[in-house]
Amino acid sequence: MAFQPRSIAQFSEAAVTVDLDKCIAHKGCTVCIDVCPMDILEIDPQTGKAFMKRDECWYCLPCQKDCPTGAIHVAIPYLLR
Amino acid sequence: MSHQLDTRESAYDIVVVGGGTAGPMAAIKAKERNPELRVLLLDKAHVKRSGAISMGMDGLNNAVVPGYATPEQYTKEITIANDGIVDQSTVYAYAKHSFTTIEQLDRWGVKFEKDANGDYAMRKVHHMGTYVLPMPEGHDVKKVLYRQLKRARVEITNRIIATRLLTAADGSVNGVMGFDSRTADFHVIRAKAVILACGAAGRLGLPASGYLMGTYENPTNAGDGYVMAYHAGAELANLECYQINPLIKDYNGPACAYVAGPLGGYTANSRGERFIECDYWSGQMMLEFYQELQGGNGPVFLKLNHLAEETIQTIETILHSNERPSRGQFHANRGTDYRHQMVEMHISEIGFCSGHSASGVHVNARAETTVPGLYAAGDMAAVPHNYMLGAFTYGWFAGESAAERASSRDFTPVDAEQVARERARIYAPLLRDHGLPALQVEYKLRRFVNDYLQPPKVTRKYELALERFAEIGEDLGQLHARDAHELMRCAEASVIRDCAEMAARASLFRTESRWGLYHLRVDYPERNDAEWFCHAHLKKDESGRMSHHKRPVEPYIVPIAEQERDAYDRLRVAPKAPAEKTAATV
């Protein structure tokens, strides 16, 4: 066998966190996912709720401001905090 | 995900690429000019919250309001602020239309500050004239635009990243190619006219924080428009006149001297002393900022802690609800209270942006590029210091110009070879089963941009940069994407690489120093009007390489008196005591 290419998964703390009790994504809401300019939020198939999937947040706040139930909190990403 | 890689074909009379500021205005005005036209507004994000003003804007930086300034005065101010390298016809066209644009936005529901008489509450920030109109309730701009887009029956497609333009046999633009950043479907959109409104090249340098997306510009604005225009054969102007901004350190958002300045705040050194007479962003101002930052009186701060409680509350309300509203949280984390501490500032990484400086795709006063059928507006179109109101105004011009063209023309045949080539280029990272991740390549590329291109500019460093960027070009051939989203980041890495090479080559071409820090070449430290009082244009030549030529500055419409020409070179506050004065040049 030749050398095998491998990737390493880095881990990051999510700057955007979701209150699962308040999030209504399981009822079809996609507001935060729609308005994110960087498209970093998705619905977790396990919980049906929104979550931050990618470490590319611009801390711009449309997701937090536009969420109809106040379920989103955006923290300043750690590297800038 | 399934890699079906469908190709979807469609046709519109006009395609507007970019739904931020200029784009929506262009689409609306095209429909108003000819309601029969089918107009598509394409956005790589979602039009509701895309672009530089996704969270609104706290003021107009360049409002030409009757009674406060004339179009002639404004044209003069910008000509001087941009060291004379201005086609005044474009700035003057903006200035004459500026108030009409404000009234249009006002009628649509954008809120501007007014005095007790209902007149616009104009403020002075520029060195010479009065052009700032605060928008303390400017957070709804995007909502207002979205309502008007719906009313005008503009068709909208979100989450499509445009990557290349299609050109017809005669060289004119006849379509847009791109892909869906969620499904990876490939899109071929035929058009009679294309308007690029893709914003700045805001992901060129790496922020000092090292965080890729910690940029001043919305990081969706990677420079896509610059690169699409370049590959379609359009000329780009004065790219060496970088965008470099004075920002809140680490947060990388504007400290907003424009908001605080009229209320008594100012840029200060570590002693709390004012060192520049005028906080308006210009290359000359940035050079003074840079020197203070590097000098014994550095770093630089935004000073508000001498202001009254009521004033500070007003500033907080504006700054923490508009444009970059998370800055309140940033200050709280660091224990910075405007009442007690000055706000530490820093110099930004480099970018291209004509909204703030003058680096952009060349356009005339009708928003036409040098390629027939292709128009550009907003931060990416080279109308110096054009800001948000200039983006709206040139979007307006572009919409009307494109509508005129599209109303009198048929579609032209699409070149299948161009489609096949672009499809193969775009999809390559998805088809590899291993390789380099886009963000890692982007990090390295942007670190090189900082290492070699950040002014002061040194010729040998720029030559080394070109070698590094060529190597990154080879790395792009090893990119690997695991899904459509990563494929978007791969496409952007290619865009950033092309912009980096353009920045380096444009800077090497102009063998003088101009625009303060923006083009400070250490080995050509003087301004050389005899040889370089001209635009420097960059375009793709027949062999596919970047070529350069000089283009004369159009004869001035508004003459500039000899003693006014250098007004922006005298920004440093004169020392109080007859102490030894340090040289203002590096």
Q: Which residue has the tokens 């460093």?
A: B461
Helix (H) or strand (E) holding B532: helix B529-532
Check A81 against B333: CB less than 8 A apart.
yes
Q: What is the pLDDT of residue B317?
A: 87
Residue B345 has φ and ψ, to the nearest 5°, of: -115, 165
Q: What is the pLDDT of residue B583?
A: 45
Residues from chain B contacting residue A81 (CB–CB below 8 Å): 330, 333
Check B330 against A77: CB less than 8 A apart.
no
Please answer whether residues B427 and B5 qualify as being in contact, where contact means their C-beta atoms are separated by less than 8 angstroms: yes
Check B214 against A75: CB less than 8 A apart.
no
Check B46 against A34: CB less than 8 A apart.
yes
Digitized pLDDT (tens) for each residue of chain B, 586 residues in all: 445 678 999 999 999 999 999 999 999 999 999 999 999 999 999 999 999 999 999 899 999 999 999 999 999 999 999 999 999 999 999 999 999 999 999 999 999 999 999 999 998 888 788 999 999 888 899 999 999 999 999 999 999 999 999 999 999 999 999 999 999 999 999 999 999 999 999 999 999 999 999 999 999 999 999 999 999 999 999 999 999 999 999 999 887 777 888 889 999 999 999 999 888 888 999 999 999 999 999 999 999 999 999 999 999 988 888 888 899 999 999 999 999 999 999 999 999 999 999 999 999 999 999 999 999 999 999 999 999 999 999 999 999 999 999 999 999 999 999 999 999 999 999 999 999 999 999 999 999 999 999 999 999 999 999 999 999 999 999 999 999 999 999 999 999 999 999 999 999 999 999 999 999 999 999 999 999 999 999 999 999 999 999 999 999 999 999 888 887 777 888 766 544 444 444 3
Angle, helix B484-509 to helix B416-431, in steps of 10 degrees = 110
**Buried/exposed code over B60-71 (b: 16+ C-beta within 10 A; e: otherwise):** bbbbbbeebbbb
Q: Which residue has the tokens 């003088």?
A: B512
Domains and CATH numbers, chain A: 16-74 (3.30.70.20)
B409 residue type, one letter: R
Dist CA B468 CA B567 (whole Å): 39
Residue B170 has φ and ψ, to the nearest 5°, of: -85, 5
Q: What burial class does residue B154 get, using C-beta atoms within 10 Å of its C-beta: 0-12 exposed, 13-18 middle, 19+ buried? A: buried
Torsion of CA B508, B514, B518, B520, to 10 degrees: 60
Dist CA B189 CA B180 (whole Å): 13
Dist CA B94 CA B152 (whole Å): 24
Please answer whether residues B30 and B53 qualify as being in contact, where contact means their C-beta atoms are separated by less than 8 angstroms: no
Check A39 against B485: CB less than 8 A apart.
yes
A38 Cβ under 8 Å from any chain B Cβ: yes
Paired tokens of B391: 């983006």
Domains and CATH numbers, chain B: 246-347 (3.90.700.10), 422-528 (1.20.58.100)
Dist CA B341 CA B568 (whole Å): 30
Please answer whether residues B349 and B451 qualify as being in contact, where contact means their C-beta atoms are separated by less than 8 angstroms: no
Residues from chain A contacting residue B438 (CB–CB below 8 Å): none
Residue A76 has its nearest CB partner, among B46, B329, B488, at: B329
Dist CA B201 CA B218 (whole Å): 10
Residues from chain A contacting residue B181 (CB–CB below 8 Å): 39
Using CA coordinates, name the residue in chain A closest to B480: A7
Q: Which residues, in sequence order, are CB contacts of A71 under 8 Å at separation 6+?
A: A18, A19, A20, A21, A22, A23, A24, A50
Dist CA B28 CA B45 (whole Å): 19
A33 Cβ under 8 Å from any chain B Cβ: no
Q: What is the pLDDT of residue B579?
A: 45
Interface test with B, best of A58, A61, A66, A78 (most B CBs within 10 A): A58
pLDDT one-digit tens code per residue, A19-77: 999 999 999 999 999 999 999 999 999 999 999 999 999 999 999 999 999 999 999 99
Check A37 against B49: CB less than 8 A apart.
yes
B460 Cβ under 8 Å from any chain A Cβ: no
A3 Cβ under 8 Å from any chain B Cβ: no
First-to-last alpha carbon distance for chain B, in angstroms, is 55
Q: Which residues, in sequence order, are CB contacts of B334 under 8 Å at separation 6+?
A: none
Helices (H), A1-81: 31-35, 62-66
DSSP string over B551-567: EEPPPPSS---TTTTTG
Residues from chain B contacting residue A66 (CB–CB below 8 Å): 49
ipTM of the complex: 0.97
A54 Cβ under 8 Å from any chain B Cβ: yes
Residues from chain B contacting residue A75 (CB–CB below 8 Å): 329
B329 Cβ under 8 Å from any chain A Cβ: yes
A73 Cβ under 8 Å from any chain B Cβ: no
Residue A5 has its nearest CB partner, among B213, B251, B434, at: B434
